[in-house]
Amino acid sequence: MRGKQAPKRRISPDPKFGNQLVAKLVNYVMLDGKKTVAEHVVYDAFILISEKTKQDALEVFETAMKNITPAVEVKSRRVGGANYQIPIPVRGERRNTLALRWLLAAARSKKGKPMAERLSNEIIAASKNEGDAIKKRDDVQKMADANRAFAHFAR
C-alpha cells in the first residue's frame, strides 16, 4: 500500500431523522452528486414504508439493517499455489457498508416501479427476513460455513 491511508470522514446525520445510517443510505442512493434527488427517493420510500406497515419507518429500516448485516464473510488467500476462501469476521463499519450495498443492489435489480417504491419494498421484505438482500447475506454465510475448514489459514 502506497502513501498514507485516507482519514475517516465523519458523516453528518440526515436533516429529517437525525440518523447517520439514513444519511449513509442517502449517499449510497445518490447518483452524479444529486443529493436532493436521493433524499427525495429515500424520504418517499420511508413514507411508503410507514403507510404499508403502519409502523415507524425508521424502526422498520433499523430492523431490516439488523437482519441484513453479515457476521462473517470469505476472503481469498493464496496458500502454496492454491486459492482458499477463508472465513473472517466482518468489522463494524464494513457490516453497514455491505448491508447498504446489498439492499440497494436488490432494490435496483427490480424494474418497472419508481426507485422509492422498490427501495421501500426491499426494506419491508428485509425487516421480515425475506427478499434478495437477505438471500445475499445467507449466501455469504453459507459460503463461510462451507469453508470453515480453511479458517486456520487466517492470520
pLDDT at 155: 67
* Domains of the chain with bracketed CATH: 20-153 (1.10.455.10)
pLDDT tens, position by position, 99-128 = 999 999 999 999 999 999 999 999 999 999
32: left (phi over 0), alpha (psi -120 to 50) or beta: left
| CA nearest to 124, candidates 49, 59, 73, 12 | 49
pLDDT tens, position by position, 51-83 = 999 999 999 999 999 999 999 988 888 888 888
41: left (phi over 0), alpha (psi -120 to 50) or beta: alpha
What is the rounded average pLDDT for all residues in the chain? 92
Q: Which amino acid is at 26?
A: V
Burial, 95: exposed, middle or buried (Cβ in 10 Å; 0-12, 13-18, 19+)? middle
pLDDT tens, position by position, 4-16 = 999 988 999 999 9
pLDDT at 79: 83
